[in-house]
Structure 1
Amino acid sequence: MSFVPPSPKSRHWTFTAVAIAVATPALVWGVDRSYRSTYRCLRAHGSWIGDSDTDIPEACSEISALLGMLALIAAAYVVVTAITGLCVGIVEGRRRRGFGHRRWFTVTVVGVAAPWAMATYATGYGIGRLLRPPAVDTSWTDGRDAARRTLEFLADGGHPGAVPAPGFLTDEPVHLDARLHYSRHYGTTVTYQQTSAMAFGSAAFVTGALLANAIGNSNARSRAARLASPQWRDHELTRVVLTPTRTWCYSFGRWLSFDHTAVMEYHLDPHGVVLLFADTEPLRLNGPAAWLHAVLFAYFRFGASALTTATFLLPIGATQAPDQSGTTSPSTSR
């Protein structure tokens, strides 16, 4: 039978068991001894513990103060270890770790030396088990992997397959049907209202009123200029359909068509793509399927040879490839 060293993540149980096994008996012994000494001293001077009508004799004041200090330390020790046990229990239960990391000897030591701490740990552990950790969103990684696999497949001579597009009518085959965040970049006209102020009174009052009115008008003008400046607008999670010649976006109740030949520039960022046109506002599409749109756009717009030369596709080709032990096919579905 070989010896398995304790996991670094569970050594806190060993430390806790040793610390509690030393601290608890020491506090109990100190409080008990101080209590007995105080009791004997008060009895020798004709007083009793808890007698509020009799002052503590001077000869017993020091040992009585020591007893009070030790009692406060013991109470704080109980509270701190109980709260710590509750917090550790919630964390370990939430992470689905074994009860006490299944270090049963140290768990037993803690339970005997500090049963209140073990009780709060068990309560916290049960609460933590009921709390589900937040699900890890793998959609972005899956989207990039799909784009990379499609890029490799098409660069090796493959052909993109068509996907069903329920409710969308076109004479061309559909190769991508996905939900993406849609936005457009443009400026607009914003109107704002200037106010005029009339003030009567002292010179200081009139000056203050006019100054406040000027500041208000300046703020309104600045806010209107900020709202009117070119920026990304019309944000919407929408349906995006790609055919060999166009990208279609269902925006605010209507289908908008973007001809691929009209795209002057195409940019990639970590979360999506940006299409620049000569005669209309730039289009931004964000979402896990955006990089797949970039691969298909390059293929249909420039041909298969562009898949290895297009600058905006370099981040996709540079992503780490997964295990190649199995056979994969391009994913262009929703």
Structure 2
Amino acid sequence: MSFVPPPRTSRHWTFTAVATAVATPALVWGVDRSYRSTERCLQAHGSSISDSEAEIPDACSEISALLALLILVATAYAAATAITGLCVGVAEGRRRRGFGHRRWFTVTIVGVAAPWALATYAAGYGIGRLLQPPAVDPSWADGRDAARRTLEFLAKGGQPGTVPTPGFLTEEPVHLDARLHYARHYGTVVTYHQTSALAFGSAAFVTGALLANAVGNSNARSRAERLARPQWRDHELTRVVLTPTRTWCYSFGRWLSFDHAAVMEYHLDPHGVVLLFADTEPLRLTGPAAWLHAVLFAYFRFGVPALTTAAFLVPIRATHSAQQPATAAATSRE
């Protein structure tokens, strides 16, 4: 079982297409139906919606209140989707992604169901393309290059260097002492409170109050379920020390020791490593030095042969292989 996070996808476009295709027609239908009902009621009492000075008869108050509520909801919906489209457009344009991730079918659905949202997305996308893309942190490339060079050195029979850590908790030599982002993967128990509403007044007011209370309870339950499900927790930038047999992490004021022999699976991704254990929660370490941790872990846990056979070192070996032809070409020109 792998806890490596999946790559970013464009599922938000599918969700947006489905949501707008359902919400927009529903709101239009509701507003139109309430408007017609209110207009018929007012005409029956000798008035009209366009007459701003006329008083609304008591018989039409509930219908007019529902119409006002639906108009308010529709306005908030249009404003929220427009602002969301603008923000997403700026973010995706700045990252130089394709317009709408080039998912033209879902983009078309959004354009038909919520053209204002697609318009603000397009404006934001154009603004994002004009902005300078985020600067690339060179420490990541340096960390991966250090892991590649260490892998090559150890595979040729070299011995890993040590890091001086006087007074550390163990007498074992320390081969890595770095700052990495620490996280653990587990579920938990979350409590939440449900409320009950007691409302008096017109039928529309009572219905609205009960509906708002039900929505609030549903949101509280959904939030509690989301927080309780297994996920990465205890995020912290911490000190990580690696010895031949253990990885030590200074987490929330105490040292935690992870025995390398207890690691059941080891995974590597572009940003970090994940260690899975049989009797404790998975550990994730993220940062420029994470790939170096992978090389040293493979060396001490499985020996020199693992440097060329371990599956989780494939990205590092691929980086090494990709750089060899460039080095050979440079040597031949010299």
TM-score between both structures, scaled by the size of structure 1 = 0.55
CA positional deviation for 1:267: 0.4
SS at match of 2:296: helix
C-alpha spacing 1:140/1:167, structure 2 compared with 1 (3 Å): farther
Q: Distance in 2 between matches of 1:136 and 1:278?
A: 37
Which residue in 1 is equivalent to 2:323?
Answer: 321
1:281 aligned to 2:274?
no
Q: Distance in 1 between matches of 2:262 and 2:272?
A: 19
1:162 aligned to 2:162?
yes
Q: Distance in 2 between matches of 1:267 and 1:277?
A: 12
Q: Distance in 1 between matches of 2:201 and 2:136?
A: 66
Matched AA of 2:284: R
Q: Deviations over 1:179-238 (max 9, x none)?
A: 111111111111111001111223332222211111110011111111111111111110
Matched AA of 1:258: F
Which residue in 2 is equivalent to 1:69?
Answer: none
CA positional deviation for 1:261: 0.8
CA positional deviation for 1:135: 7.5
Q: Distance in 2 between matches of 1:147 and 1:166?
A: 25
Matched AA of 1:212: A
Q: Distance in 1 between matches of 2:312 and 2:205?
A: 62
Matched AA of 1:299: Y
Matched AA of 1:201: G
SS at match of 1:304: coil
Higher mean C-alpha deviation, range 156-165 or range 283-292: 156-165
CA positional deviation for 1:265: 0.6
SS at match of 2:323: coil
Q: Distance in 2 between matches of 1:136 and 1:230?
A: 31
Which residue in 2 is equivalent to 1:262?
Answer: 262
Q: Distance in 1 between matches of 2:307 and 2:237?
A: 28
Q: Distance in 2 between matches of 1:142 and 1:205?
A: 63
Q: Deviations over 1:111-166 (max 9, x none)?
A: xxxxxxxxxxxxxxxxxxxxxxx976321111111111111111111111211124
Q: Deviations over 1:290-334 (max 9, x none)?
A: 000000000111111111000000100111337769xxxxxxxxx
C-alpha spacing 1:171/1:277, structure 2 compared with 1 (3 Å): same
Q: Distance in 2 between matches of 1:171 and 1:248?
A: 13
Q: Distance in 2 between matches of 1:321 and 1:263?
A: 31
Residues 113-128 of structure 1 correspond to what in structure 2 (within 5 A)? none
Which residue in 1 is equivalent to 2:180?
Answer: 180
Matched AA of 1:272: G
Which residue in 2 is equivalent to 1:7?
Answer: none
Q: Distance in 2 between matches of 1:216 and 1:137?
A: 42
Which residue in 1 is equivalent to 2:301?
Answer: 301
Unaligned runs of 5+ in 1: 1-133, 326-334
Higher mean C-alpha deviation, range 164-173 or range 230-239: 164-173
Unaligned runs of 5+ in 2: 1-133, 329-334
Q: Distance in 1 between matches of 2:135 and 2:306?
A: 38
Q: Distance in 1 between matches of 2:262 and 2:255?
A: 17
Q: Distance in 2 between matches of 1:307 and 1:136?
A: 29
SS at match of 2:305: helix
Q: Deviations over 1:51-71 (max 9, x none)?
A: xxxxxxxxxxxxxxxxxxxxx
Which residue in 2 is equivalent to 1:141?
Answer: 141
Residues 222-233 of structure 1 correspond to what in structure 2 (within 5 A)? 222-233=222-233
C-alpha spacing 1:136/1:229, structure 2 compared with 1 (3 Å): closer
Q: Distance in 2 between matches of 1:324 and 1:242?
A: 31
Matched AA of 1:321: Q
Matched AA of 2:242: L
Q: Distance in 1 between matches of 2:192 and 2:218?
A: 11
Which residue in 2 is equivalent to 1:190?
Answer: 190
Which residue in 1 is equivalent to 2:59?
Answer: none
Identity of aligned residues (%): 86
Q: Distance in 2 between matches of 1:135 and 1:222?
A: 37
C-alpha spacing 1:192/1:246, structure 2 compared with 1 (3 Å): same
Q: Distance in 2 between matches of 1:146 and 1:321?
A: 13
From the CA coordinates, give the structure whose radius of gyration is larger.
1
Which residue in 2 is equivalent to 1:204?
Answer: 204
Q: Distance in 2 between matches of 1:271 and 1:211?
A: 44
Q: Distance in 2 between matches of 1:284 and 1:166?
A: 26
Residues 231-250 of structure 1 correspond to what in structure 2 (within 5 A)? 231-250=231-250
Q: Distance in 2 between matches of 1:309 and 1:175?
A: 22
Q: Distance in 1 between matches of 2:157 and 2:267?
A: 25
- The total of aligned residue pairs comes to 193
